[in-house]
């Protein structure tokens, strides 16, 4: 197997006495769409937080693009092309959709002219293209706080895309979204993968969505990696079925 884009090796993370992740390993190859499922509290969001440098891990290693990133901070990891979106959206409600896009622009270039150029002309064009891509172009001057929850999630997705990530970690992208908009969102995720070449790791509770979207799925239970496989394998895996039934 070629070197994975993201390689999580035996990662553990505890909060006080609660072991949120124990010896978790996961690999994602460039170009893949991979799912991460598991009952509530099984450690999915914690794993995302560890990967993107939101908090230090207790043990293990995380590699991205062949470089160890285990001890880097959020900003340094983002600059390397690895970004996440949140289970709860993080947009500025009192700013327009367009303004939210512009403040999300990366600040890779430091010179005044570069900043002016990249942030204001190229940036505005790219922001418009991406708002078009997620179907929010006509709402570009609306306050983000006036958008529906589903539209806010699409905006947050576009805000991540403007950074041109190699890989995006999406934490429950369809949660709280009107079922009729879910197919549109899945279509956008797939197009971001196929047309923009973005590798995706997606936490999702909606089984129909993840079975349809992901090529491979990992399942966490009680902080440990329980299973990995193709959607059909995961759907029929007795350990996965037990984990979900046992959780209720």
Ligand X SMILES: Nc1ncnc2c1ncn2[C@@H]1O[C@H](COP(=O)(O)OP(=O)(O)OP(=O)(O)O)[C@@H](O)[C@H]1O
Q: Binding residues for Mg ion, per CB under 5 A?
A: 45
Q: How far is the CB of 45 from Mg ion (least distance, A)?
A: 3
Q: How far is the CB of 87 from Mg ion (least distance, A)?
A: 5
Residue 110 interacts with which of ligand X, Mg ion, none, CB < 5 to 8 Å by class: none
Considering only residues 68 to 87 of the shown chain, the ones binding ligand X according to CB under 6 A are 87
Residue 40 interacts with which of Mg ion, ligand X, none, CB < 5 to 8 Å by class: ligand X
Length of the chain measured in residues: 248
- Alpha carbons 33 and 31: distance in angstroms, whole number: 7
Helix (H), strand (E) at residue 136: none
Q: Which is nearer to Mg ion, 133 or 157 (CB)?
A: 157
Residue 18 interacts with which of ligand X, Mg ion, none, CB < 5 to 8 Å by class: ligand X
The b/e string for 1-14 (b: 16+ C-beta within 10 A; e otherwise) is: eeebbbbbbebbbe
Query: Among candidates 47, 161, 48, 143, which has minimal Cα distance to 99?
Result: 143
Query: Among candidates 132, 151, 153, 140, which has minimal Cα distance to 195?
Result: 132
Residue 150 interacts with which of ligand X, Mg ion, none, CB < 5 to 8 Å by class: none
SS3 assignment, position 54: coil
Q: How far is the CB of 136 from ligand X (least distance, A)?
A: 26
Q: How far is CA 226 from CA 29, 216, 217, 218, 243, in A?
A: 20, 14, 11, 8, 9
Residue 20 interacts with which of ligand X, Mg ion, none, CB < 5 to 8 Å by class: ligand X
Q: Which is nearer to ligand X, 43 or 123 (CB)?
A: 43
Q: How far is the CB of 198 from Mg ion (least distance, A)?
A: 21
Spatial contact of 47 and 220, defined as CB atoms under 8 Å apart: yes
When asked if residue 89 is in the footprint of ligand X (CB under 6 A), the reply is no
* Number of residues located near ligand X, criterion CB under 6 A: 12
Considering only residues 12 to 71 of the shown chain, the ones binding ligand X according to CB under 6 A are 15, 18, 20, 38, 40-46
The tokens 């499922």 sit on which residue?
A: 37
Q: How far is the CB of 156 from ligand X (least distance, A)?
A: 17
Q: Which is nearer to ligand X, 51 or 127 (CB)?
A: 51
Cβ neighbours, 10 Å, residue 156: 22
Q: Which is nearer to Mg ion, 27 or 49 (CB)?
A: 49
- Alpha carbons 101 and 154: distance in angstroms, whole number: 11
Interface residues with ligand X (CB under 6 A) are 15, 18, 20, 38, 40-46, 87
């Amino acid at each position: 197997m070629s070197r994975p884009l993201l390689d999580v090796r035996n990662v553990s993370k505890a909060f006080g006495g609660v072991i949120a992740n124990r010896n978790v390993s996961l690999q994602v190859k460039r170009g893949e769409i991979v799912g991460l499922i598991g009952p509530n509290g099984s450690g999915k969001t914690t794993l995302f937080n560890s990967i993107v440098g939101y908090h230090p891990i207790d043990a293990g290693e995380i590699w991205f693009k062949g470089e160890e990133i285990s001890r880097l901070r959020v900003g340094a990891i983002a600059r390397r092309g690895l970004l996440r979106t949140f289970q709860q959206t993080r947009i500025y409600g009192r700013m327009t959709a367009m303004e939210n896009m512009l403040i999300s622009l990366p600040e890779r270039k430091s010179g005044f002219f570069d900043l002016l150029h990249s942030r204001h002309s190229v940036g505005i064009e790219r922001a418009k293209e991406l708002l078009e891509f997620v179907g929010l172009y006509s709402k570009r001057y609306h306050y983000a706080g006036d958008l529906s929850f589903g539209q806010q999630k699409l905006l947050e997705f576009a805000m991540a895309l403007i950074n041109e990530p190699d890989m995006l970690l999406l934490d429950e992208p369809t949660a709280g979204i009107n079922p009729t908009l879910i197919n549109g969102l899945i279509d956008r995720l797939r197009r971001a993968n196929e047309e923009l070449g973005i590798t995706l790791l997606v936490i999702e509770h909606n089984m129909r969505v993840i079975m349809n979207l992901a090529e491979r799925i990992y399942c966490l239970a009680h902080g440990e990696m329980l299973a990995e496989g193709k959607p059909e394998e995961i759907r029929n895996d007795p350990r996965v079925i037990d984990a979900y039934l046992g959780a209720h």
